[in-house]
Amino acid sequence: MTDYSIQATYLQLKNKYASSSANFAILKIHIPNNNLNNEYDVKVTDHNLNFIQKTYMDSGFDLFVPNKTVFTDPFATSMVDLGIKAEMIYCDVTTDHLRPSPFYVYPRSSMSKTPLMLANHTGIIDSGYRGSLIAAFRYLGLPTNNNNNTSYTVDPMTRLVQICHPTLCPIFVTIVPLEQLSETERGSGGFGSTGK
């Protein structure tokens, strides 16, 4: 692990955060879309303050759906680009060992109030993936009303999914320029890129 900025962040955090969990993860996110920057600046600041102060920290970091998205076909799957790229580092506090880590994209509990689900139930993001995070939403449909309009609209900046480390340890988030995401053999190959 030769990312000195992440090592410095780790050293600053390891004895300062209040969580009941010994180990934690650092999530680096790159936001190519300027419209998302302000939303994530506020979200990351609040999230990291909780990381430092709370004994029982939430396991997930919420992601925004960046654009208005309309679902029209019941049981169809739509790929929604979440507009960020990410890399996760797992920090083992007992050994001071930092290593790249895969992570999961889970639905937030509030998604149960919508007619949507993740088509693959859980998004598995390999440790070497550096492309845009994409969520595969399946629209379950709505009862037909008088107008026969059965579409469902998700407004911009709605939070439907969250990133979690496989151990559900707390996550500290840092926003980085693209060049601070490490290069890997996998790169940006997305859904289905590693075979059938």
What's the mean pLDDT in 158-180? 96
- Residue 196 above 70 pLDDT? no
* pTM for the model: 0.88
- Residue 19 above 90 pLDDT? no
Please write the tens of the pLDDT for every residue from 98-123: 999 999 999 999 999 999 999 999 99
Structural domain spans, the chain? 4-180
Q: What is the spatial distance between Cα 1 and Cα 126, in angstroms, rounded to a whole number?
A: 17
Please write the tens of the pLDDT for every residue from 126-156: 999 999 999 999 999 877 665 566 899 999 9
Please write the tens of the pLDDT for every residue from 31-46: 998 889 999 999 999 9
Q: What is the spatial distance between Cα 180 and Cα 29, in angstroms, rounded to a whole number?
A: 9
What's the mean pLDDT in 13-34? 86
Q: What local confidence, expressed as pLDDT, does residue 191 receive?
A: 53
Q: Please provide the DSSP assignment of 45-76 as one string.
A: HHHHHHHHH-SS--SEEEEEE-S-EEE-STT-
- Residue 190 above 60 pLDDT? no
Q: Which of 152, 157, 27 is nearest to 91 (CA)?
A: 27
Domain 4-180 = CATH 2.160.20.10: no
